Chains A and B, each alone.
Chain A
Amino acid sequence: MRKLRNLYGTAALASIIATGAVADGHGWSLKAAAEPYAGTTVDVVFLLRPGYEAIEAMLPAFEEETGINVNIIKHPYENALGEQVRDFVAGGDLDIALIDLVWMGNFAENEWVLPLADVQAKFPDTVDPDLDIDDFFPLVLNAFGGWNDTIYGLPVDNYSGLMFYNRCILEEAGFDGPPETWMQLKDEYGPALTKDGKYAFALQSKRNETQSADSFARVLWPFGGSFLDENFRSNLNSEESQAGLQFRQDLMQYMPDGIVAYDHAETVNAFAQGDVAMITEWSAFYSSVVSPETSKVADCVEIAPEPTGPAGRKPALGGFSMAVASQADEAEQAAAYLFIQWATSKANAREYLERGGVPARQSVYQQDGLEEFKFVPALVESWQDGVPEFRPRFAEWPEITEIVQEWGTKMMLGEVTTEEGATEIGTRMEEVLEAAGYYSGDKPLAQ
C-alpha cells in the first residue's frame, strides 16, 4: 500500500520535474512517443517577447529528450503575420503556426492549420494522457486557440491587459492605490500626476496592431461601445462608442507628446524609466518592468486589473496559440504536435512562468509561492470574464485593422473628429464585410 503510494508520488513528481518526460501511470513517455520522429526539424515563428525567450531557454531539455530539432525563426510582432501568411500561401517550411487570437479565423478558414482533434487522431501515440485540456482557462483556450467551436491551437503566450502602476509616484501624490475607473484616471490622477515633464498615463497607440488592439479597442468596450452591432453593421457612431473615443482624446493631455508613435517598447520603457506613472499593458511585459536590468522603477511596480468604465471592466485580451500546420509532412506534424504539447503542458507551466512566460494553465496559479508574480491575481481575475471578441476575430480582421489603424491615428492627431473618423472606419469596414459576403447571407455572422 505504502509502496504503491510512493510509486505514484514519485511518478507524479518526476513528471513535473522532468518536464513530463518520464513515464507516468499510463506508461506514456515523451521520449518513447518521440522516438519515431527523432531527427525531425520543426520550423516555427517566435516573437521577440519574454514568453518566447522563456521557451527558448527551456528548449534544450526538449531537444535532448526527443531528438527533435526546433528551428526558431524570430520576427517582431508586426512582421509575424505577413511572414506567416506568405509562408503558408507559398506552401513553405513552417510546421507550426503561431496565431494571434485575431488571426485565428484567417488561419482556420484557409485550412493552414489542423484541428487539434484531427492531429490527435492521426498520431494517437503522441498524445500525452496528462494533457488535461480542461486545465486551460476556458476563455483563453477558446479565444486564442478556437474557431467556430473547434480547437486548433493550444495557448502559449497569453495576455490580459493589466494596469501597471508606479506605487512610489502615486503615493507621493497622495494616492494610496490605483484608479478604480477610467473616469477617475482622467479626472483625478491625470491632473495630479502630469507635471515636471512626467505624465500620468501612456496608452500605446502606434499605427499598427497596437493602435487598433491596445488603444482603440481599449476605450471602446469599457464605455459600452463595440466595433459591430448584431447585424454586423458598424457600431462606431453609437453614443457609447463615441463616448469611449472621445474619452481617449480627452485623456491625451495626460499622456506624453507623440503618443501615436508609442509602441509597446516605448510605453514600457517610459514606465520603466519612471516618466509615466501608469500604463495599461499586456501581462507579458511584466518580467521586463520588474527586472532591475531594464527598469529603474523595479521596486515600485504594482499591478492591478484595468480600470472599469460605465459598462464594467472590459480588459484587453490578447495572446497566441500554436497549431500544427497542414502543409507540414507527417513526421513534422507529429513532431510539431509534441512540441506544442510540451511547451504548453501543465508540468512545464511553473518553469515557464518563472522564466518570464505567462502560462494559461489554471493549475499553476493555484500553487504556492507565486507571491513574487504580482500580476497573477489581476490576471486570473481578468480571465474569468473577458471579451473574447475584444477585437472581432473573423477572417477579415487583417484588412479591417489597417482601416482602424489609419483613422484611429488620424483621430488622435486631431486630423479628423471622432465622428468623422468613426464614419470613415464604418464605411470602409462595411465594404470589406460586404465583399466578404456577410450581408448577402453567403457567410454566417460568426462571432
Chain B
Amino acid sequence: MRGQVPRKTILSFIGPAVLGLAIVGIAPLLYAIWTSLHFYNLTQLRRVEFIGLQNYWDVLTDDAFWQAMSRTFFLLGTALPLQIALGLGIALVLHQPGLTILKTLARLSLVLPMATTYAVVGLLGQVMFNQKFGVVNQLMGGADINWIGDPQNAFMMIIFWDVWQWTPFVALVLLAGLTMVPGEIEEAARLETKSKWTVLRYVQLPFLLPGLVAVLILRTADTLKLFDMVFTLTRGGPGASTEFISLLIQRVGFRAFDQGLASAQAIILLIVTIVLAQIYIRVFYKEV
C-alpha cells in the first residue's frame, strides 16, 4: 500500500497551503459572520451594535434579494442551454475529419473569448451595442434597437456576451470528450447506422458526460460570481433588470455602505454555493 507517510511529513507538505488559504479564505469569512450580526454601516461606524439575526431576517424577507437570486438563475437557465447546444454543434463540426488548417485556426480563435478580461467584455459591449454608433445595430441592417436602455434588451445583451465568452469553453470541453471516443468503436457504429443522432446518443454521449458535468458545475459557480462584465456594461440596469446577486451585494455593501446587511447576503450566497457544489460534486464527481 502506497502513501503510508509520517504525519509530520504530510503536514510539512500540506500545511503551508492550508495555512495560506485559511488566512485569506477563512479569516475573512469569520469576520463576515461577525459583521453580519451587527448593524455595521461604513458611514456610521459609531453606531455599530449587535443586532442578532436581524440582517438575515431582512435579507430573507427582501424582495430585491430574491429577485436578484432568481434573475441569476434565470440567466443560468437561458445561457447554459444555449452554450451547450451551440458548443456541441461546434464540437461536432470540429470533430469531423479534413480541413485541418481551418480547424486549427477555429480552435485557436475559440481560445480568445475565454481568456478575455471580463471587465473588458463589458466595455466592448458598451461600444458595440450603443444604440446610435454601435456596430451591432449597423450589422443588423441599420436597426434602431435600444440595447442598453431597455430591460429586456439589456438582459438579452448580457446573455449574448455570456454565450459569446463561454460557448467556446463548452465547445472545447466537449471536443475533448469526443476525441476520447475510440476510433474503431465510432467507425463500427457509423457502419451500423446512418443516423448521426444515434451515434451521438449511444456512442459519444457517455464520453461527453464528465465534461458536461464539469461545465454544469463551473458555469453555475461562475454565474453566481458574475460581476465584472455586467458591472462595466449595465451596472445592473436599467432599473434592476440586470442586477445579479453579486452586483446586489456590491451595491448594498459599497454604495449604500451597509456592510452588515451585505455580509448577511454574502453569507447566504456562500451557503447556496456550498450546497450546490456539494450536490454536484457528490453526485457527479465520484472518482475524486
User: What is the number of residues of chain A that contact chain B, defined by CB distance less than 8 Å?
Assistant: 30
What 0/1 pattern do residues 86 to 122 of A give for CB contact below 8 A with B?
A: 1001000000000000000010001000000000000
CA A47 – CA B223 in complex, angstroms?
A: 33
**Contact, CB under 8 Å: A257 / B146:** yes
Q: Of residues 394 to 443 in A, which have CB atoms within 8 Å of B's CB atoms?
A: 395, 398-399, 402, 406, 409-410, 412-413, 415, 435-436
Digit string of A278-321 for contact with B (CB within 8 Å is 1, else 0)? 00000000000000000000000000000000000000000000
Q: Is B254 positioned at the interface, with any CB of A under 8 Å from its CB?
A: yes
Closest Cβ neighbor of B45 among chain A residues:
A89
B256 A257 Cβ-Cβ under 8 A:
no
- Given A257-B149, A261-B149, A110:B45 Cβ within 8 A: yes
What's the minimum C-beta distance from B158 to chain A, rounded to whole angstroms? 14
CB pair B257 A399 closer than 8 Å: yes
Q: Does B131 contact A (CB under 8 A)?
A: yes
- Of the 9-residue stretches B29-37, B109-117, B231-239, which lies at the interface with chain A? B231-239
Known: A399-B256, A399-B257. A435 touches B146 (CB 8 A): no
State how many angstroms separate the Cβ of B132 from the closest Cβ of chain A. Answer: 8
A127 at the interface (CB under 8 A from B): no
CB nearest to B63 among chain A residues: A424
Q: Report how far A197 CA is from B131 CA in the complex, Å.
A: 12
The answer, yes or no, to whether B195 is at the interface (CB within 8 Å) is: no
Give the residue of B44, B132, B237 whose beta carbon is less than 8 angstroms from that of A260. Answer: B237
B181, CB-defined interface residue at 8 Å: no
- Nearest-Cβ distance from residue B187 to partner chain A, whole angstroms: 55
Given contacts A257-B146, A258-B148, A261-B149, contact A409 B258 (CB under 8 A): no
A395 touches B44 (CB 8 A): yes
Which bucket holds chain B's interface residue count? 20 to 34
Task: List chain A residues, Cβ under 8 A from B219.
Answer: none
**Within 8 Å of chain B (Cβ to Cβ): is A207?**
yes
Which residues of B have CB within 8 Å of A402? 251-252, 255-256
Which listed residue, B42, B131, B239, B252, touches A89 by the CB 8 Å rule?
A: B42
Among B43, B234, B241, point to the contact of A110 (Cβ < 8 A): B43
For B43, give its contact among A258, A259, A398, A415 (CB under 8 Å).
Answer: A398
Is B221 located at the chain interface by the 8 A CB criterion?
no
B151 within 8 A of A: yes
Give the interface SS of chain B, mostly helix, strand, loop or mixed. loop
Q: Which residue of A lies closest to B240 (CB)?
A: A406
A169 within 8 A of B: no
Interface status of A129 (Cβ within 8 A of chain B): no
- In the complex, chain B residues whose CB is within 8 Å of the CB of A413: 151, 238-239, 241
With both chains docked as a complex, state the minimum distance between the C-beta of A15 and any C-beta of chain B, in angstroms. Answer: 40
Q: What CA separation (Å) do A260 and B44 show in the bound complex?
A: 31
B279 at the interface (CB under 8 A from A): no
Q: How far is the CB of A323 from chain B (nearest CB, A)?
A: 16
Residues of B with C-beta under 8 A to A89: 42, 45
In the assembled complex, B244 has its CB within 8 A of some CB on chain A: no
Chain B residues with CB under 8 Å of A106's CB are 43
The 6 closest A-B pairs by CB, nearest first: A258-B149, A261-B149, A258-B146, A409-B239, A260-B238, A402-B256
Report which A residues bind B (CB closer than 8 A). 81-82, 85-86, 89, 106, 110, 197, 206-208, 257-262, 273, 395, 398-399, 402, 406, 409-410, 412-413, 415, 435-436
- 4 more A-B contacts (CB under 8 A) besides A208-B235, A261-B237? A257-B149, A260-B237, A399-B258, A402-B251
- CB pairs A–B below 8 angstroms (30 shown): A81-B255, A82-B257, A85-B257, A86-B42, A89-B45, A106-B43, A110-B44, A197-B144, A207-B235, A207-B240, A257-B149, A258-B238, A260-B239, A261-B148, A261-B237, A261-B238, A262-B149, A395-B44, A398-B255, A398-B256, A399-B256, A402-B255, A406-B239, A406-B240, A409-B238, A409-B239, A412-B239, A413-B241, A435-B39, A436-B44
